[in-house]
Structure 1
Amino acid sequence: MKKILIITIIIFSFINNIFADEKFGEIFIKGVSYAENILNENYKNFLDKIKSSDSTETLKQEMIISPEMKEKVLKIPSYMFHYIENVPKNTKDKLRYNLSFSPENLEKLMIYLKENNIETITHWDVKEILEGKKAIPQKAIILGFDDGHLDHYTEAFPILKKYGKKGVFFVVSNFASTDPNYMNWEQIRELQAAGNEIGGHSFSHPNLTTVNAKELEKQVIESKKEIEKQIGKPVISFAYPIGKYNETVKKCVEKAYLFARTTKYGGEINPKKLLEIPTLRITPDFSIKNVGKYFEKKK
């Protein structure tokens, strides 16, 4: 015990003498300060590089489709929802009515899916299926909610949670930041934390075929960066606003996304056309039993 005490006193005395040397102390402090500056500067440069990067390597997630999946068309229909609300049939706003689906009907759909063992999956699941990391589900669908309407959070989200289902919520980044009629970032983060996927749907929902190159980059790529910054997770799917796209738009989307959903009719995912995934539109008079009939047809 005495030996330990003596050694401790000697070490303390040695260190104290070193720092008593004013010159050494100054050098030591400068060295620590210099190291901190380097670390801080490197970290700042790293963040700036991410923010300003145009590299597709930093924008886009990697996906290597397994050989056995390259020719396999997946029987996974992607359904498209807009407003989850009760809109009177005699309303003057016919467009809103035609794009609506009541919360009551959404709940009936969830019950039907549960009773018929139909899974709900996301594009992250599709990615793993195509990579050969996950088996193809016997019966699975994608529930896509477009635009980021507030009722996706207040109406759809509680119903999905109640029945253990998940969806893909395609959000318009500027709407999320500025418009109270749409989900805000906190609500969007809550959706994601519950297992839902957040997809891109542009910056301000224009017809992308009519904008110039700079604006297209802003709508497709910069909006994706903003979403990723807000939710803290990569975004791999995109939905073309009002379903409009051409080869120029598709090439821009390809820089940043693995999957893109159109408004063209269809219920399959072709590995050769991942930027042109078709959809099945949900309308007020949609028959829930059609979901099951789709799988009966595909047997």
Structure 2
Amino acid sequence: MSKKYKGFLWIFIFLVIIGVSIFYLLRQYDNQQANNTKLIQNNETKANKGVSDKPKIIEKKEREFTGVNIKYNDKSVPVLMYHSIAYEEGNELRIPKENFREQMKYLKDNNYTTLTLDELYSFFISNKPIPEKSVVITFDDGYKDNYENAYPTLKEFGFNATIFVITGAIDNEKDYLTLNQLKEMEQNGVDIESHTVAHEQLDKISYEKQLDTLTRSKKYLEEVLGKEIRYIAYPFGKYNTDTVKASKYAGYNMSFTTQGGWSNKTQDIFTLNRVYISANYGLSEFKRRLTNPNYNTN
């Protein structure tokens, strides 16, 4: 074999080695890119499926009401105030579930529309019309019997309602609602809103403490429910000028007291009245409070 031929052979072998090395490196690069692409796709899939700390909440749309039997915000609306739906002798805050169902059936049989708080807010602020026979159903505190006894009846009749919850009691106190129960109801017609962190009597504490409990309860519910918290009911119905100031600063749109009477736009949007419903009342008193805006002056 001539020296010239040997030289070409070594050059050929060298080029083959270089080619194989380049091919190997390109394969490694392609495999790495494929793995990276797969990882990105998996992360995007998780994100699209809502794999996060926040649950997927169905957006609730306000209804448009038209026709002859509607009213505008020169009129009042009864906002019913419940607490516990259960039986306890001598406790007027606990309404037996049979009585509660009887009241809800009356609303259904008499063609009442149960408004969401968003719809009530738009009625007051934007003068969006609502049915003449409109009512708002609210519960204070967040007792577990709201889920066990009230929720099935609300679903049966297709009613909207709102529960103002004490956030410090969630998953911490046995007689109060769990987070899973709140999430389920939130997606099925029951709006969850704030009732402070620890049911503090707001007019007895400083502005700073009021702002803290109003802000922390709002932030917690927003994080766990994945929605904006816009409304609050004051514990014991108590408030002062600092409470109104703190509610506005914390970012609430509307607040409720326990002052008896129908709600209307002449009241401060941060100190609205409600209609107290007691276990001591029969159906006739329920009807009177529901149909007479001036029931508490008679």
TM over 0.5: yes
Q: Which runs of 5+ in 2 are unaligned?
A: 1-18, 41-71, 294-298
C-alpha deviation, 1:135, in angstroms: 2.5
C-alpha deviation, 1:272, in angstroms: 5.5
Aligned ranges for residues 164-179 of structure 1 at < 5 Å? 164-179=158-173
Could you say what secondary structure the match of 1:274 adopts? coil
Q: Which has the larger radius of gyration?
A: 2
Distance 1:120 1:290, change over 3 A: farther
1:201 aligns with 2:195: yes
Counterpart of 1:126 in structure 2 is 120
Larger displacement relative to structure 2 (271-280 or 289-298): 289-298
Supply the AA of the counterpart residue of 1:141: V
C-alpha deviation, 1:197, in angstroms: 1.2
Deviations 1:234-278 (A, max 9, x none): 111100011110000111011221110101111122166111110
Counterpart of 2:265 in structure 1 is 270
Could you say what secondary structure the match of 2:182 adopts? helix
Counterpart of 1:250 in structure 2 is 244
C-alpha deviation, 1:138, in angstroms: 1.2
Supply the AA of the counterpart residue of 1:267: W
Deviations 1:46-89 (A, max 9, x none): xxxxxxxxxxxxxxxxxxxxxxxxx9344211111111111124
Distance 1:189 1:144, change over 3 A: same
* Contact 1:139–1:295 (CA under 8 A) maintained in structure 2: no
Aligned ranges for residues 19-38 of structure 1 at < 5 Å? none
C-alpha deviation, 1:103, in angstroms: 0.3
C-alpha distance in 2, partners of 1:136/1:200? 25
Counterpart of 1:232 in structure 2 is 226
C-alpha deviation, 1:185, in angstroms: 1.0
Identity of aligned residues (%): 26
RMSD: 3.1
Counterpart of 1:260 in structure 2 is 255
1:188 aligns with 2:196: no
Calculate the TM-score normalised by the size of structure 2.
0.71
Distance 1:294 1:98, change over 3 A: closer
C-alpha distance in 1, partners of 2:290/2:279? 22
C-alpha distance in 2, partners of 1:140/1:175? 31
Could you say what secondary structure the match of 2:170 adopts? helix
Supply the AA of the counterpart residue of 2:205: V
C-alpha distance in 1, partners of 2:284/2:159? 18
**Which structure's residues are more often helix, by fraction?**
1
Residues paired across the two proteins, number = 237
Deviations 1:208-258 (A, max 9, x none): 122234322221011101011111111111000111100001110112211
C-alpha distance in 1, partners of 2:276/2:188? 25
